[in-house]
Structure 1
C-alpha cells in the first residue's frame, strides 16, 4: 500500500498539469451542471418559484363565519398562518366578460405568509375604498390591467365599481371558469361596503413545518373545528398539479443535456486514462518486474484518477452549494431559490453520485488495460507500429499533394478502431451543442416568426359600446393591419361529458382566417374545423374524423380537416368559422377581433396607434406567446454550451496526446526522408484536425436530427403539436464545425512543437 501511494504521488508530481486540468474540468462540469439545474428549476417551475418567494401556505381552509379559525394556528405541525381573512363569493365583470371571484378582506400591508407577489401596479393604498388587486390568471381572463375599472357584485348586493390597483401572482389554484374562482383582494372597509348584509366566511392559510404532513394537519383541523364548520380545503399539491404541464420542454432539455454531459465527461476521462496508460507502458512493466500484481497496477490507476475525479466533483458541488447564491444576476437568484425548495438536496446528491458511478465505470474499464501490460518491456520496433502505407496515400504523395495533409490523414485514420473511438468521444459534446443550438433557433422562431407556430394574429381587440361596423372601420384604418377577423370562444363538452374544450369560431366563410396548418388543410366549408394536437389526443381522433361535442346543451358536429399548431390551452382547441357557430346559435356575436399585421409591422406600435384613434374605447392586447415563459432557458443553454465546450477541450487534449505519442515513434523516419521540423509539426496538427473535422460532421448531422425529433416530440406531448422544431441555420453549423477544427488545430500546435524538439535519445526511448 505504501509503495502504491508513493508511486501515485510521484506520478502526480510528474504530471501536475494533466492532474490540475482533469481536476478543473471535472469541477467545472459539476458546477455548470448544478447551475444549469438551478436555472432550469427557476425557469421551468414557476409555481414553485412563486410558492418559495411568497412563503406560500401548504393548506387553505375556508370556514364558516363563526368558526374559530385562529385556533388552527396552534395545531402541531403548523409553522405560521396567513389570515384568517373575511371572504365572500362575487361576480366581476368588464366589457361583457364575467368571472366568479373570491373577495378577500386584507390590510394595507400584504400578509407575511402566502404574500401576493405584485407583478404590475401596486398593493392597496392605505385608506382607499375603491381599489382592488387581482390574481394574475383572473386579470388575464377579464382582460384587465392596473388602471382599469371592474364591476363587482357580491350576492344580493349592489354592484360596485373598483379601480384595479395591481395584479399579483399567488401559489394557489388559478382561476378556471366554472370550477375555481379567481382571487380579489380589497381592504376591510371596501369589503364591508360591498357586502354589508351578505353572508360571508373566513379563509386561512397554514404553512407547515413538514409539507408531507398535509393530510395529518387537515385531519386535525377538521377535528378541531368540526366538519360542519369547514366549507372548502385546497392543498399545495392541488395547486402544483394544476400549474404544471407547460414546461416539460425545459425538463426534457435538462435530462438530455445532463445525461449527455455526464456521458461525454466520462468518455473524455476514460480516453485520458487510456492515453496515459499507453504513454506509461515502460513504467508499468518496471512495476510488474519488481513485484506489483496486475490487480495492484489496476488499483493504482483507478485510485489516482478516481481520486482526482471525486475531488473535482466534490469541489464543484461545494462551490455551488456555498457560493452559488453569491453569483450576480439571475444565476445567484436561481441558486438562492433553488436551495429553498423542498428536497433540493437530493438533486446535488444525485448528480454527484451519478457522476462518480459513471466516471468510476469508465475509468475502471480503461485501467483494466494496465493490468494486461507484460512485465517485460517489448521493443516496439520489433512489432509493426503501423500499417503499411496504402496505395491511396502513395498516389496522393505522387501527385505532389502537401505531405503534411497526406501523412496527417494517414496518421489520423491508420488505426480505424482507435480513430472511431476518438471521433465518437469528440462527437458527443458537438452533438449536444447542436441540439442546444436547435433549441435556441426554435425559440427565436417563436419570437421572430410567430405566425409559423400558430400565432398568426399579433393583436386581439375588444370594444366596449362600439358597434361592429364602426369597430371594423377603426381597426382596418391602420395601414399595418392586413386583416381583421371576428372571433368568439365558447366552452364545449367532449363526448362522455368528462371534460371541457375550447370551441373557437374565427373568421368567416367569405374571409377565412389564415390558420397555421401542420397537417391536412385549412377549413373552407361549412362544419369544417381545424384541431390542436391536445384535442386530437383527448378524443383519440385524427385528421379526417367527425367529432361530436355539446355546446350549451346543443350538439355540435364538426369535420376535422386539418391539424394546427395550437399554443393555447395545451392544444385542446378546435377552430372553425364564426358562421358555423352562428348556424346553431344565431344570437352569437363576436366577442373579439383578431388582427393580422403586415410583415415587419411592430405590434406594440400598431396597438398604440389604434388605441389613440379609438380614444380609449378599445382594449387591444398582444397575443400571448409561449416564448415569454421559455426565454429564461437561454442562459441555461449558454451555460450548457460552455460545459460541453470544456468537455470537448478535455477530449481534444487526449486526442492530441495520443497523436503526439504515435508520431514520436516516427520522428526518425520522418526526418530521414527529408521532412523539416515544421513539416513534422504540420503532420501532427493535421492529424488532430482531421479527427476534429470527422467528429464535427458526425456530431452536427446527428445533432440536427436529434434536435428535430426531441423538440417535435415535446411539442406533440404538450399539445402544441409537432412541426415547431427549427434546425439551426447552415451557416451556424458551418461556424460550429469550423470552430471545432480551428480550436483543435490551435491547441495541438504547442504539444507538436514540444514533441519535435525532443532529443533523439528521448525519441529512441519511446520505442521501448
Structure 2
C-alpha cells in the first residue's frame, strides 16, 4: 500500500505541475486507438445497423423481380412453395429519371398502398407516408439530392411534393437502390414511393417490373431456397431475378470498402507518431526522471520499484487513452459506416478482437516509448546522478575525420546527430509515417481525376467523398502529430546541446550556422523517411485499391514541402536559443 500511495502521489504531482505533457500523450494515443477502433468495428457496425433497420421495417429475406405484366401467377406459385412464411402483394415499379433542385438521377418509382405491407414496411423518418399526389423519398437518396419534406421532385414531367422521407432494408442503400431497371445492364439509382395509382399514371407506357417480397421460415440460407425454387423449367418464359438479404448487406458493405483500410492503416501510423511523441516527451523529462530515480534509490527503493514508479504515469495515461479511443471509435462508427443515411444508426460494444487490438497497440506504444528510459534511470548510479557531473561525450575518430572538411553547419549537425542516433531513428520514422499518408491521399486524388466524369459526379460521389474525408482526416492528424514531434525533438536537441553549441559560438560560429546545424539534425533523418514513405504509401494504396501512380510533380512537391516544414519547425527552437547571450548560457550551465 505504501508503494501504491507513493506512486499515486507522484503521478498527481506530475500531472498538476506539467499537465501539457499528459494532455499531449493522451491526445496522441487516443487518436491512434480511435482510428484503429473505427476501422475494425466498421463492418460489425454496418451489419448491426442493417439488421436493426431490417427488423424495424420488416425487411424481406428474398425479393423476386419479374417483368410479367400480370404477376399473380408467379405470386401464387411462390405462396404455395414450401419454406415461405409470409408474402407481400406484388408491387409495381418502373425506372425513370427524376429531377430535383436542378439535378437529375435514376430512380425506381414504386407504387404502394396506404395500408402497411406484410413485408417491407418503410419506416418514415420525416413527414408522412404516401398519399395521392405526394411522393416519399428514400432518406439516402433525399440526402444526395438535397431534398426535404415540402420540396418538389419531377417524375416524368409531373411535379410531386415530397410528403415524407423513409428508410427501408429491402434494397441496398443509395446508390444501389434501383431494382426496377429490368433485364440488361443496370445503372446506379435511388428509390421513390408513390401511391399505386400515381405510379401507374406516372409510368404511362413505360415498361415496369413487379417486386414480390418474401419472408422465409429459414432465412439463414436464402441461396439454397432460391436455387431450388427458381430453376429454368419453373421460370418459364418470364424474366425473374432474385435478391436476398445477404446480398443487400454485402452491397451495403461496398460503401465502406475503401474507408476501412485507411482507418486501420492510419491507426497504426498514428501509433507510430504517438510513439515518437512519447519518446520525445521521455527525452524532455529524462533529467528529472533520473534525479527522481536517484532520490528513490537513496531512500531504499529497489530498481523494480523505481521502474514501476517511472512507468506508472505512462501506463495510467495509456489505460485512460485506450478507454477514450475505444469509446470514441465505437460511438462514431455508426455515423461513419452509413454515408448515404439509409440505415438506422446504432452503437454497440466493440468485440473482443477490437478491444485486444486496441489494448495491444496502446501497450506497445507506452512500453516501447517509456520502458527504455525508465530502466536506464533505475539502473543508473545514485551518487553520479545526484552529483550531476558533466556528461563525457563519446568520441568518433572516423566520423571526426570524415566531417573535418565539411562546412561548419553541416559539420556541427552531423556530429550532433551522431551523439544521439536513436533520436534520428525516431525522427525518420515519424516523417515516414506522415509521408505514407500524404502519398496515399495524393494517389486517391489521382485516381479520382482519372475516373470518368459520369462516375465522379454521379451517385458514387457519396462513397468517394467519404473515403476522401477519412483520408484527409487521418492525414491531418498525422501532420499535426508530426509537427508536434518535430518541435519536441528539435527543442530537446537544442536544450541538450546548448552548452556545446554556445562554446562553438564563442569560437566564431554565427547564430545562422547554429540554426542551420539544428536543421541538419532533423533534415538528415527526414530525407530517408520521405524517400521510404513514398513507395510504401504507393504500395499500400495499390494493395487495397486501384494500382495508379500520381504525377511525379505531385510527389516531388509533397516531398519538398515535408522537408521544408521540418526545416522550418526545427529552426524556430534553435533560433530561440541563439537569442540568449553566450555568457548568460555558460553562467547558467556553470551554476
> Structure 1-normalised TM-score?
0.53
- Residue number in structure 1 paired with 2:570: 744
- Residue number in structure 2 paired with 1:708: 538
Question: What does 1:124-523 align with in structure 2 at a 5 Å threshold?
Answer: 126-128=131-133, 146-148=154-156, 170-171=168-169, 172=171, 175=179, 187-189=195-197, 203=213, 215=220, 236-245=245-254, 248-277=257-286, 280-315=289-324, 340-341=345-346, 343=348, 345-346=350-351, 349=355, 352-362=358-368, 363-377=370-384, 381=390, 383-387=392-396, 390-396=400-406, 401=407, 403=408, 405-406=409-410, 408-415=412-419, 417-446=421-450, 450=451, 455=452
Change (3 A) 1:395 1:634: same
Shift of 1:202: 6.8
**Contact 1:29–1:643 under 8 Å retained in 2:** no
Shift of 1:644: 0.6
State the SS of the aligned residue for 2:431.
helix
Change (3 A) 1:656 1:320: same
- Residue number in structure 2 paired with 1:642: 476
State the SS of the aligned residue for 1:395.
coil
Map Cα deviations across residues 391-414 of structure 1 (whole Å, 9 max, x no partner).
344323xxxx5x4x2454134322
Change (3 A) 1:667 1:3: farther
**Contact 2:339–2:466 under 8 Å retained in 1:** no
- Residue number in structure 1 paired with 2:485: 651
Change (3 A) 1:88 1:127: closer
- Residue number in structure 2 paired with 1:21: 24
- Residue number in structure 2 paired with 1:592: none
Shift of 1:261: 1.2
Structure 2 unaligned runs (5+)? 64-73, 98-107, 142-152, 204-209, 224-239
Map Cα deviations across residues 157-191 of structure 1 (whole Å, 9 max, x no partner).
xxxxx999999985426648669999885524468
**Contact 2:446–2:550 under 8 Å retained in 1:** yes
**Contact 1:430–1:699 under 8 Å retained in 2:** no
**Contact 2:79–2:87 under 8 Å retained in 1:** no
- Residue number in structure 1 paired with 2:89: 86
Change (3 A) 1:667 1:283: farther
**Contact 1:711–1:725 under 8 Å retained in 2:** no
Distance 1:623 1:37 in 2: 29
**Contact 2:432–2:529 under 8 Å retained in 1:** yes
Shift of 1:301: 1.5
Larger proportion of helix: 2
- Residue number in structure 2 paired with 1:693: 523
Higher mean C-alpha deviation, range 233-242 or range 332-341: 332-341
- Residue number in structure 2 paired with 1:509: none
Distance 1:294 1:648 in 2: 34
Shift of 1:295: 1.0
- Residue number in structure 2 paired with 1:570: none
Equivalent pairs, count: 513
Change (3 A) 1:30 1:624: same
Map Cα deviations across residues 659-714 of structure 1 (whole Å, 9 max, x no partner).
134314526743653557x56xx62x434422332344223322321233233333
Change (3 A) 1:650 1:4: same
State the SS of the aligned residue for 1:376.
helix
Change (3 A) 1:443 1:755: farther
Change (3 A) 1:729 1:170: farther
State the SS of the aligned residue for 2:300.
coil
Distance 2:484 2:119 in 1: 50
Change (3 A) 1:333 1:127: closer
Distance 1:675 1:439 in 2: 44
Shift of 1:420: 3.5
Shift of 1:377: 0.9
Distance 2:43 2:458 in 1: 23
Shift of 1:277: 3.0
Change (3 A) 1:381 1:691: closer
- Residue number in structure 2 paired with 1:494: none
Shift of 1:445: 1.9
Change (3 A) 1:633 1:675: same
Question: What does 1:504-583 align with in structure 2 at a 5 Å threshold?
Answer: none
**Contact 2:111–2:193 under 8 Å retained in 1:** yes
**Contact 2:318–2:363 under 8 Å retained in 1:** no
Distance 1:641 1:755 in 2: 40
**Contact 2:413–2:519 under 8 Å retained in 1:** no
Map Cα deviations across residues 371-390 of structure 1 (whole Å, 9 max, x no partner).
32223316654733554572
| Higher RCO (CA < 8 A, seq sep 6+) | 2
RMSD over equivalenced CA pairs, Å: 5.7
Distance 1:32 1:732 in 2: 24
State the SS of the aligned residue for 2:463.
helix
Structure 1 unaligned runs (5+)? 70-74, 76-82, 95-100, 138-144, 150-161, 195-199, 207-212, 219-230, 460-566, 568-621, 717-721
**Contact 2:119–2:215 under 8 Å retained in 1:** no
Distance 2:109 2:222 in 1: 24
Change (3 A) 1:46 1:688: farther
Change (3 A) 1:291 1:691: same
